[in-house]
Amino acid sequence: MVEKKVLKAISSKSSDEFYSPVPKNFVKGKTKFIFVTGSVMSGLGKGIFTASLGRLLVDRGLKVRPMKLEAYLNVDSGTINPYRHGEVFVLDDGTETDMDLGTYERFLDITLDKNSFVTSGRIYKNVIEKERRGEYLGRDVQFIPHVTGEAKLAVLNLAASSKADVVLVEIGGTVGDYENLFAIEAMRELAFQLGKENVCFVNLTFVLEPKHAGEFKSKAAQLGLRKLLELGITPDVIVCRSQNQIPEKIKEKISMNSGVQMNRVFALPDIDNIYKIPLFLRKQGVDEKILEVLELSKKFKANGSKSLKSWTAKNLIPERKPVTIGIVGKYTGLHDAYISILKALEHCAAKSKTPFRLEWIESANLEKPGGENALKRIDGMIIPGGFGSRGVEGKISAVKFAREKKIPFLGLCYGFQMAVIEHARNACGLKNANTTEVDAKTPSPVICILPEQDEIEDLGGTMRLGGFDVLISPKTIAHSLYGSLKARERFRHRFNVNTEFIGALEKNGMVFSGKAPKKRIMQILELSKEAHPFFVASQFHPELTSRPLKPNPLFLGFYSACRKKAGL
């Protein structure tokens, strides 16, 4: 009986050789698709290009939704070490993604959800779960059509749920990787099913410029494009990444060897400010050619780029004396681990027309004799998020230095917890205060695990994740910055302030100005203006909601204090 119900609920198309599930509310031709691939090597900046292209299309009046089809087998990015893959970006719905989603949100000024991030791990997980439920009607489950069918379904689901004019899909990895073959094949099939007028393929390739040769070499780019052709995809547009501007003859070689017309081969050399890239691409007509492929050029004409020029100009930072900001972290060897923090500072710099200079301070080095000398050159200090015990005492000593020397301080997540520990030790007299994450037997566990996290064993996707409301106390620094009694921010943590110690912390000068609704979870702390020019920390990650022209209020307040400290 159960088996009959299952079979009845499953479409007979599950047994077709051309198995290709389509959402019920998807309408062919209503949404156009742009697929962005990369060849020759990784690290080309596909995410920045995809976001810039999205900005161009939004500027023309289209509704755009981006997606990252990631190659790795992790279900999401949550368990990946920042040294391996850079920052973990958290969406409002709690999805842990890679940093490209942050770039999309910032450039397009939109809030994305789980439908915009799909890994091969998630694809395979879905396939196995469907097989276990019997949804393939006894078929032998194969790479084609089942894995590719699931990938296509993810893309079409985003189109249907978002009702976008254009869905921009960045395929992670490099053409030729085994890991992303499923995605490339799925997109080839999708183009075949939807019709060429509904799909545009863009390939970012890299043109080498070996110093010993003294000229550009395009052979690697040609071979990378040839590999894409072997996989059944002829790109409609090619964008040539390079360190310096390439000559026309290089574009001619690439055009001839790929079969792509010269007027659809474009150059994108390194540019000093990523916010200049959309306008740089617009001047070459990149978006115009893509819209021609999608048969949208007549409907969405260029608007003279007035709004794009204004957006670009407002994001530029003038050259003048900078403020010096120290980032005291444990992943300082890879700046991408803190990319959203850097972007939030850029937003503040553009808003205030004051540049900044970074001092990268490895927290473990502060535990060595003379380590605090690195803190004497800064106008402000940020202690970012992190996990584990390495460098913890260095971070606590850095908080103490900032508090005593009146250096503007902003603590983020783990930095918030370090500020609580430092205050407990040095203002409340709890000399052995610590977090149970580091010392499970500390007699003063001022930071402890959240109750709902206590019995969780799995690591992936189990923290307190995503957007939550923060209730802000009136007449506090936080209230003056937000201008509201409520804010929505994004979280990623397991530990919080132990409620047993809140009274002692407050009695000795710490103000908890932001709290969770209906729960006694402290979310913003501060010291009064009388005690310190700017000392604020948040259990959430304000860097994740900062946008170009719309800096996060906590960052903007911190930046203003740094400028004042520097006399700017």
Q: Does domain 323-450+465-566 bear CATH number 3.30.1360.30?
A: no
Q: Which fold would CATH assign to domain 24-313?
A: Rossmann fold (3.40.50)
Q: Are strands 433-435 and 409-412 parallel, antiparallel or unpaired?
A: unpaired
| pTM for this predicted structure | 0.92
Write the pLDDT tens digit of every residue in 181-195. Answer: 999 999 999 999 999
Task: Show which residues are catalytic.
Answer: 413, 541, 543
Residue-level pLDDT at 299: 76
492 φ, ψ to 5°? -160, 85
Residue-level pLDDT at 223: 95
How far is Cα 430 from Cα 434, in angstroms, rounded to an integer?
Answer: 9
Residue-level pLDDT at 420: 98
How far is Cα 59 from Cα 345, in angstroms, rounded to an integer?
Answer: 25
How far is Cα 103 from Cα 124, in angstroms, rounded to an integer?
Answer: 26
Q: Decide if 554 contacts 481 (C-beta within 8 A).
A: yes
Residue 86: which region, alpha, beta or left (left: phi > 0; alpha: psi -120 to 50)? Answer: left
DSSP codes, 352-402: HT--EEEEEEEGGGGGSTTGGGGGGG-SEEEE----SSTTHHHHHHHHHHH
Amino acid at 335: H
Cα distance from N-terminal residue to C-terminal residue, the chain: 76
Amino acid at 56: L
Domains of the chain by residue range: 24-313, 323-450+465-566
Burial code of 381-391, b = ≥16 C-beta within 10 A, e = fewer?
bbbbbbbeeeb
Write the pLDDT tens digit of every residue in 523-560. Answer: 999 999 999 999 999 999 999 999 999 999 999 999 99
Residue-level pLDDT at 387: 77
CA distances from 185 to 153, 179, 214, 232 (A): 13, 12, 38, 8
Q: Decide if 39 contacts 228 (C-beta within 8 A).
A: yes
How far is Cα 221 from Cα 395, in angstroms, rounded to an integer?
Answer: 45
Residue-level pLDDT at 3: 41
Residue-level pLDDT at 16: 60
Is the bond preceding 145 in cis, omega lying within 30 degrees of 0?
Answer: yes
Residues of the chain falling short of pLDDT 70: 1-18, 83, 301-304, 452-462
Q: Which residues pair with 34 in a beta bridge?
A: 168, 200
Amino acid at 511: V
Residue-level pLDDT at 489: 97
Residue-level pLDDT at 77: 84
